[in-house]
Amino acid sequence: MVFLDFQTKFLKNLEFQGTFFLDENILGHLQNLTRFSNKTAYQLGAMYYEAFGINDFSLFVEYTRIRPYVYTHKSLTDNHTAYGQIVGHHIGPNSDEIFVKTAYNLNEWIRPSLSFSYIRAGENIYEDGVLVRNVGGNVFEPYRPYIDSDDAVFLDGNRVNSTEIIFSTRIEPVRDIIFDLSYTYLFRDHVTENYSSKLGFAELLMTLAF
């Protein structure tokens, strides 16, 4: 496993960051960018503090791209997972995301924020719950020799486009006692299967930071 990370500090109030991740195939088939063994991912982003001259206002922008079969291995015990969750970016393999977030400090103890993310994903294809085509879209279903195609085209499979909007407010009325109140709206467009779904929910989280 190889990864590279950079973060800048040379511009006042403006920071650029990037990460590149490569797993398993170091030199073997890097010239074939669509081969299943080219398990690469990267993220590019920027943070702008006091954006556009507005005091206490922050702006975050990120783009993440993860190729098929990233985080997967032949043995499930070697996957980049723990307790059924990916140890890596939450969007998982065969997907990409555009993420934008704004935050504003109203005062010392109230911080509202608004985030937007647009995720494209290529999911594996199933019939009656049985896997019929593996496109590298599920971290728990690795490449199968002599069954799956050697070409793993990015975003192949059942295309699902998701839009997520989150409005949240962090309140700290007493030092080290924090309340996070948020509302999430999620719209999922199952492009290949020609249907969509919507979901909205609110959350309240209390944290004791002693």
pLDDT of amino acid 67: 96
Encoded tokens for 125: 């294809």
pLDDT of amino acid 28: 66
Average of per-residue pLDDT across 44-48: 97
> For the chain, what percent of residues have pLDDT higher than 90?
78
- CA distances for 86 relative to 89, 111, 125, 140, angstroms: 7, 29, 20, 10
pLDDT tens, position by position, 119-136: 999 999 999 989 999 999
pLDDT of amino acid 116: 98
- CA distances for 82 relative to 64, 76, 78, 139, 205, angstroms: 21, 10, 10, 11, 23
Q: What values do phi and psi take at 76, rounded to 5? A: -60, -25
pTM for the full predicted model: 0.91
pLDDT tens, position by position, 145-202: 999 999 999 999 999 999 999 999 999 999 899 999 999 999 999 999 999 999 999 9
- The average confidence (pLDDT) of the chain is 93
User: Alpha-carbon distance 178 to 186, whole Å?
Assistant: 25
pLDDT at 68 over 90: yes
pLDDT tens, position by position, 71-83: 998 888 888 899 8
pLDDT at 36 over 80: yes
Among 65, 51, 56, residue whose Cα is nearest residue 118:
65
Q: Order of strands, edge to edge, in the sheet holding 14-24? A: 2-7, 14-24, 38-49, 57-66, 95-104, 110-123, 158-174, 177-190, 195-208
Average of per-residue pLDDT across 16-43: 85
Average of per-residue pLDDT across 51-59: 93
Burial of 136 per CB tally in 10 Å (0-12, 13-18, 19+): buried
- Judged by DSSP in three states, 105 sits in coil
Which residues, at least 6 apart from 152, have a Cβ–Cβ distance to it below 8 Å?
A: 34, 35, 36, 38, 67, 68, 69, 94, 135, 136, 143
